Amino acid sequence: MITDLFLALRFLREGRSQTLLIASGVMLGSAVVVFLTGLLAGLQSSLIERTLGSQAHVVIHLPRDAASPVRQPEDGQVILRQAVEPEQRLRSIASWQTLSRRLEVVPGVDAVSPIATGPGLALRGSANRAVVILAGVPDRVDRVIPLRDRVVEGRYSLGGGEALIGVGLAEDLGVGVGDVLRVRPAQGPGERFRVAGLFDLGNRDVNRRWVVLPLRSGQTLLSMPGGVTDIQVRLDDVFGADAVADRIAASTGLVADSWMRTNEQLMVGLRGQSDSGNLITLFVVIAVAMGISSVLVVSVVQKSGEIGILRAGGASRALVMRVFLWQGAALGLLGSLLGCALGYGLGKLFESLGANPDGTPQFPVEQPTTLFVATVVGSVLVGLAAAAWPARRAANLDPVVAIRNA
Amino acid sequence: MPEPAPTLRLERIDKDYGDGPGRVQVLHGVDLTVPRGQLVAVMGPSGSGKSTLLNIVGLLDRPSAGKLWIGERETSTLSDAERTALRGESLGFVFQFHHLLPALTAAQNVAMPLAVRRGRVTQDALDRARAALRRLSIEELADRRPSEMSGGQRQRVAVARALVAEPSLVLADEPTGNLDTETSDEVFGEMRRLNRELSITFVVVTHDEALAERCDRVVVLVDGRVRSDRQVE
Ligand SMILES: Nc1ncnc2c1ncn2[C@@H]1O[C@H](COP(=O)(O)OP(=O)(O)O)[C@@H](O)[C@H]1O
Ligand SMILES: [Mg+2]
């Protein structure tokens, strides 16, 4: 065995209680990091999942009609009414088919779904509700906003005259699968649709307002035959949305909204969570490093005579240094392996405490293998860094002084 | 036939500590030549510079002036790393306190000088450590730790450690200073025997007149100067 490693392990074994104490410290620290990171990651992904469950990553549309000034005021004039109201009629994105095909091959884009969307009214008997009409091609809609799996009653089907509505709207209007309701735009007559399925997207507002229709019906209702108002885009990397949106906006001259900007509050919240998680990790790292460092410094002082005799026997400074670096690394390794096990156990325990009726965890804890690998590697590095100072002290001991004073 | 180089040669070695008004000179122009195989006792009152001299000879400390040869090598121009390497090759140490590593067995302790030089704890090093223990008739201690040995046994193990790398020169600073008379006699007897059997040169600092008389030569140091230097009859 390598002499310095051999000595390091013997020294650790010799200082049994100190070694155990500091390894438990490292274990607790790593466990906190593993558990907390997993908890935050789980929380974040369920928040993001819930948000993105009913939103496209990027939505492309025409600039919303701005109020346009009628005339500039001249000297001494005051203009009381500066603008005409924007036209209520929706306009279609020009040559959206070509644009959709082009978007599909943009790197990072996973799926594209052109839709016609606008306000409307759903009526059943004397009941009516303001709704959002969302008309698209069934398969494309589902690839951008996974709806098929969220159908809780009936089927995911958008044949001619079929509609999908949320469970909330179904309740409000008192309709079920197979019933007929009437949908009409803000102005103008409506059409009758048979409810093919009810979906639950986990969002009350969406469940009460969305009416999903075949593209052609939506176009007719919104009086834009052959047109679409939006192109929805799903990306491979959800956090790349800002960059992709900017690129699309620049190259098309259209407006491209990224979900990250649309949900700025959420993003601020997530970032705050990440920051506090990182801060806790930082404190853990500092505490662990100080613990390892102080134990090793004490050990250097206690062993100065032995170190002196090793040096007298021909041990180089570098070898003495490595003896202590190994100890730091070994403490980091041992502690973090135990800590990973403990952190994993805590995560599982936490999940089992807050389980949904169907057995799935209410608060999923996300602990991928990379988290454990990173914790162990990080901990070994922290151990090495913490050992650097004691190791230097040991290497720089004057053997004469060390032997005389020991 | 040319004379073989002496094991050790000191030429006008000075050593002072500190600077300015606080400066103290501990060694004054010490000359000493020790031929191969000699067992030299260094005596002198406490504070006369014996340990300082031994540390300089042992390349643990540098002289302020003068020249020092270990075998054929003049050491004043050597780097720290070269001095460390030369120490490992040519020198063995025994101190008043044994400084055995409590975490290691006797055999592992004795093997350390070999292991630190080679960078590995090999079976060969452990075998040679056992052989060194056998030479001191304490092979049965091989697997014991220092805490399980008597003072005399520990010091014997320390002597075995000094010998394991087959040094040409062993430096012993009051090696029996912590032992009772009887044990001290035995440990010194071992060193005397090894000196004769293996022709290893020894420089031994001691306060014990009786032991000094069993050496080949007695050098007396007073206030950092060689006061007397005589062969023992
Ligand atoms: N590092 C040092 N700094 C200052 N003075 C020292 C140092 N080491 C030894 N001395 C002084 O050198 C003198 C000789 O010490 P030492 O060689 O240990 O003597 P001995 O071994 O003969 O008792 C003593 O007066 C001691 O105080
Ligand atoms: Mg002394």
> In this structure, how many other beta carbons lie within 10 angstroms of the beta carbon of residue A84?
11
Residue pair B224/B49 in contact by the 8 Å Cβ criterion: yes
A69 pLDDT band, cuts 50/70/90, is low
For residue A260, is pLDDT > 60?
A: yes
Task: State the pLDDT at residue A181.
Answer: 93
Q: Note whether B155 contacts A: Cβ–Cβ < 8 A.
A: no
Strands (E) in A142-179, as ranges, are 151-154, 162-166
Domains of chain B with bracketed CATH: 8-231 (3.40.50.300)
Strands (E) in A254-394, as ranges, are 255-258
Task: State the pLDDT at residue B5.
Answer: 75
For residue A12, is pLDDT > 60?
A: yes
Atom of ligand 1 nearest to the CA of B44: 22
Domain spans, chain A: 2-51+267-405, 96-253
Rounded to two decimals, the pTM is: 0.80
Q: How is residue A164 written in tokens?
A: 């999908």
Task: State the pLDDT at residue B75.
Answer: 93
In angstroms, how far is CA A188 from the centroid of its own chain? Answer: 42
Task: Specify the range with the lowest mean pLDDT, choosing from A18-22, A42-46, A288-292, A345-349.
Answer: A42-46
- C-alpha span between A68 and A254 (Å, rounded): 18
- Separation of CA B225 and ligand 1 centre (Å): 13
Take atom 13 of ligand 1 and give the residue whose Cα is closest.
B47
Give the residue-averaged pLDDT of A343-359. Answer: 85
Of B19, B18, B45, B42, give the one whose Cα is nearest residue B30. B42
Pairing between β-strand A210-214 and β-strand A127-136 as defined by DSSP bridges = parallel
Structure confidence by residue, pLDDT tens digits, A311-342: 988 899 999 999 999 999 999 999 999 999 99
Exposed, middle or buried, A370 (CB in 10 Å: 0-12/13-18/19+)? Answer: exposed
- C-alpha span between B233 and B231 (Å, rounded): 6
> In this structure, how many other beta carbons lie within 10 angstroms of the beta carbon of residue A282?
10
- Strand pairing partners for A214? A136
Residue pair B211/B188 in contact by the 8 Å Cβ criterion: yes
- Separation of CA A91 and ligand 1 centre (Å): 98
Pairing between β-strand B39-43 and β-strand A180-185 as defined by DSSP bridges = unpaired
Whether A306 and B99 lie within 8 Å, measured CB to CB: yes
Task: State the pLDDT at residue A189.
Answer: 82
Mutate to test the interface with B, among A1, A2, A3 (most CBs of B within 10 A): A3
Q: How is residue B67 written in tokens?
A: 């020249």
Q: Note whether B81 contacts A: Cβ–Cβ < 8 A.
A: yes
* Mean confidence (pLDDT) of chain A: 89
Exposed, middle or buried, A97 (CB in 10 Å: 0-12/13-18/19+)? Answer: exposed
* Mean confidence (pLDDT) of chain B: 92
Give the residue-averaged pLDDT of B94-113. Answer: 93
Rounded to the nearest angstrom, the minimum Cα separation between A244 and chain B is 56
Whether A314 and B104 lie within 8 Å, measured CB to CB: no
Region of residue A76 (left: phi > 0; alpha: psi -120 to 50; beta: else): left
Give the residue-averaged pLDDT of A188-199. Answer: 91
B97 lines ligand 1 (CB under 6 A): no
Most confidently predicted of A155-159, A243-247, B18-22, B143-147? B143-147
B4 lines ligand 1 (CB under 6 A): no
Task: State the pLDDT at residue B26.
Answer: 94
Residue pair B49/B27 in contact by the 8 Å Cβ criterion: yes
In the DSSP assignment, the letter for residue B136 is T
Whether B55 and A400 lie within 8 Å, measured CB to CB: yes
Please state, for a pLDDT cut of 90, what percent of chain B lies above it.
81
Q: What are phi and psi of B43, to 5 degrees?
A: -120, 175
> In this structure, how many other beta carbons lie within 10 angstroms of the beta carbon of residue A320?
27
For residue A87, is pLDDT > 60?
A: no
Task: State the pLDDT at residue A90.
Answer: 78
Residue type, position A217, single letter:
S
Q: Note whether B131 contacts A: Cβ–Cβ < 8 A.
A: no
Task: State the pLDDT at residue A80.
Answer: 59
Give the residue-averaged pLDDT of A166-177. Answer: 93
| A242-253 exposure pattern, b = at least 16 Cβ within 10 A, e = fewer | eebbebbbeeee
Q: Note whether A14 contacts B: Cβ–Cβ < 8 A.
A: yes
Residue pair A174/A128 in contact by the 8 Å Cβ criterion: no
Take atom 18 of ligand 1 and give the residue whose Cα is closest.
B51
How many inter-chain contacts (A to B, CB under 8 Å) are there?
A: 81
Task: State the pLDDT at residue A406.
Answer: 59
B134 pLDDT band, cuts 50/70/90, is very high
A356 pLDDT band, cuts 50/70/90, is confident
Take atom 7 of ligand 1 and give the residue whose Cα is closest.
B17
- Separation of CA B170 and ligand 2 centre (Å): 16
> In this structure, how many other beta carbons lie within 10 angstroms of the beta carbon of residue B88?
22
- C-alpha span between A349 and A340 (Å, rounded): 14
Whether B85 and A11 lie within 8 Å, measured CB to CB: no
Region of residue A103 (left: phi > 0; alpha: psi -120 to 50; beta: else): alpha
Task: State the pLDDT at residue A195.
Answer: 95
Task: State the pLDDT at residue A64.
Answer: 73
Give the residue-averaged pLDDT of A282-307. Answer: 93
B232 pLDDT band, cuts 50/70/90, is confident
A79 pLDDT band, cuts 50/70/90, is low
Give the residue-averaged pLDDT of A257-272. Answer: 89
- Separation of CA B221 and ligand 1 centre (Å): 13
Whether A1 and B103 lie within 8 Å, measured CB to CB: no
- C-alpha span between A59 and A50 (Å, rounded): 17
Please state, for a pLDDT cut of 70, what percent of chain B lies above it.
98
B19 lines ligand 1 (CB under 6 A): no
Q: What are the Cα distances from residue B117, in Å, to A223, B97, B163?
A: 90, 23, 14
Structure confidence by residue, pLDDT tens digits, B173-218: 999 988 899 999 998 998 999 999 989 999 999 999 999 999 999 9
For residue A68, is pLDDT > 70?
A: no
Q: Which ligand is nearest to the CA of B177?
A: 2
- C-alpha span between A167 and A170 (Å, rounded): 5
Task: State the pLDDT at residue A352.
Answer: 86
Mutate to test the interface with B, among A4, A7, A11 (most CBs of B within 10 A): A7
Strands (E) in A259-385, as ranges, are none
> In this structure, how many other beta carbons lie within 10 angstroms of the beta carbon of residue B36?
15
A31 pLDDT band, cuts 50/70/90, is very high
B1 pLDDT band, cuts 50/70/90, is low
Residues of A in Cβ contact (< 8 Å) with B108: 10
Task: Specify the range with the lowest mean pLDDT, choosing from A208-217, A280-289, B4-13, B38-47.
Answer: B4-13
For residue A74, is pLDDT > 90?
A: no
Of A372, A402, A405, give the one whose Cα is nearest residue A41. A372
